[in-house]
Amino acid sequence: MKYSKLFSKTTKTVSEDEVSNNAQLLIKAGFVYKEMAGAYCYLPLGIRVLEKIKQIVREEMNKIGGEEFIMTSLQRKELWEKTDRWDDGKVDVWFKSALKNGTEVGFGWSHEEPISEMMKLYINSYRDLPVYVYQFQTKMRNELRAKSGIMRGREFVMKDMYSYSVSDEAHEEFYNKAKEAYLASFERLGLGDDTFFTFASGGAFTQFSHEFQTICDAGEDICYLHREKRIAVNEEVYNDEVLSQLGLKKEDLEQVKTAEVGNIFSFGSTKSEELDLCFTDEAGEKKPVILGSYGIGITRAMGVIVEKFHDENGIIWPENVAPFVVHIVSIAKDESDEAYKKAEELYNELNEKEIEVLWDDRIETRPGEKFADADLIGIPTRVVVSSKSLENGGYEVKKRNENDSQIVSKDELLKMVK
């Protein structure tokens, strides 16, 4: 991508009511556009990051047997009434509307009910189980207050997986696999060191759940964590009984602010019994399917990454999720300048080698502004091509998370970014 062809450019203008670091930086750097409170548009740079996050999560879900599909966002009122979750008193985040024929509908905030209803067509015998399905989809939640930028919105992208098993034992086995897949996902996203498996309340889902909480000053939760055991307890269920169950002592726990980046729930047979999702076992007996639900906030994870990895100059993307691997900055008077030609040559070669590269090819823009934009956008490796760098033997390379730069040859540069 050439920066001159990118329609979204950096800006210094951000709404005064946008107080979160992640939203301010993502707007300034041209990754997102704010439509309204709690609703953001993802621009070309933002889409590249989201797709990197999705691909990492997709690979981990596929490793444990997940099959990807996508459901409609429209929800049938009568289906959710069967499980007593249509009532706003039970679930207070519904967006609801009506079709022109008067039929009431909701907009998907979660998908246990419609997916389980659909599974009645495909699950009849124990031979049809287990089933593990997941989707990446835009969810709608009518939050009272949309805050924290893209970390808590009224519209957001979520990966939600659903497991259907023959027994509690089979479900528990998969549940543990999902836990490990989640931890692997967050490790690859760059959040592994500060993300903890957390005991929490089930809210509108179940009595209890497990969350994945990342230490983050911008987070909305308070958790008590045991670093050595890699386990945490959400403040909402922090009591002596829970600590005893987990074998934890108060004096060993550290209180921290956290942001929830994922959660997993065990529904047992409750949802299947409400919806009559059953299978016939080997003995010919009819039994309810055991359901599990597993969510990762894709856009929320993006916001948490920005909150965790930035400085006073801009974003510092972990390499696995950065929109590009290399950011070329050419310092040239015009297109006939040797520095411009060498930058273009490098740009083409990196593209041929399928190394993702953004080239700031602007001629009129001052070098200082280009460097400031590069820091703000936060691509891991910046390569400056100028008459000075060429005189000194090649290309000036600087890592976004380091202060020093070095002059390297093209061969050395290609080895660095390979």
> Look-up: residue for tokens 């389980």?
116
In a domain, 205, yes or no: yes
Residue 220 has what pLDDT? 93
Residues 300 and 368 both lie in one domain: no
Residues 307 and 340 both lie in one domain: no
Q: How far apart are CA 30 and CA 7, in angstroms?
A: 9
| CATH code: domain of residue 366 | 3.40.50.800
Residues 255 and 357 both lie in one domain: no
Total number of domains constituting the chain: 2
For 87, residues 6+ apart whose C-beta sits below 8 A from its C-beta are: none
In a domain, 321, yes or no: no
Residues 304 and 368 both lie in one domain: no
Question: Across residues 298-308, what is the average pLDDT?
Answer: 98
In a domain, 268, yes or no: yes
Residues 333 and 193 both lie in one domain: no
Q: Where does a domain end: 247, 280, 311?
A: 311
In a domain, 316, yes or no: no
Q: How far apart are CA 86 and CA 75, in angstroms?
A: 10
Q: At what angle do helices 298-308 and 21-28 cross, to 10 degrees?
A: 90
Q: Where does a domain end: 278, 311, 344?
A: 311
pLDDT-derived band at 144 (thresholds 50, 70, 90) equals: confident
Residues 118 and 55 both lie in one domain: yes
Structure tokens at 59: 């690979």
Q: For residue 352, give its domain range.
A: 326-417
Q: Where does a domain end: 262, 282, 311?
A: 311
In a domain, 20, yes or no: yes
Residues 300 and 352 both lie in one domain: no
Question: Across residues 131-145, what is the average pLDDT?
Answer: 95
> pLDDT digit string (tens) for 235-271?
999 999 889 989 999 999 999 999 999 999 999 999 9
Mean pLDDT of the chain: 95
Residues 353 and 302 both lie in one domain: no
> pLDDT digit string (tens) for 314-333?
999 999 999 999 999 999 99
As to burial, measured by CB atoms within 10 angstroms (0-12 exposed, 13-18 middle, 19+ buried), residue 230 is: exposed
Question: In the 8-state DSSP scheme, what is residue 384?
Answer: E
> pLDDT digit string (tens) for 97-122?
999 999 999 999 999 999 999 999 99
Residues 105 and 223 both lie in one domain: yes
Report how far apart the first and last C-alpha atoms of the chain are (Å, whole number): 18
- Show the beta-strand stretches assigned E in 79-147: 95-98, 104-107, 131-140
Evaluate whether 353 touches 384 at the Cβ level (below 8 Å): no
In a domain, 320, yes or no: no
Residues 255 and 341 both lie in one domain: no
Residue 145 has what pLDDT? 82
In a domain, 123, yes or no: yes
Residues 127 and 170 both lie in one domain: yes
Give 358's strand partners.
327
The SS3 of residue 265 is: strand
| CATH code: domain of residue 25 | 3.30.930.10
Residues 258 and 343 both lie in one domain: no
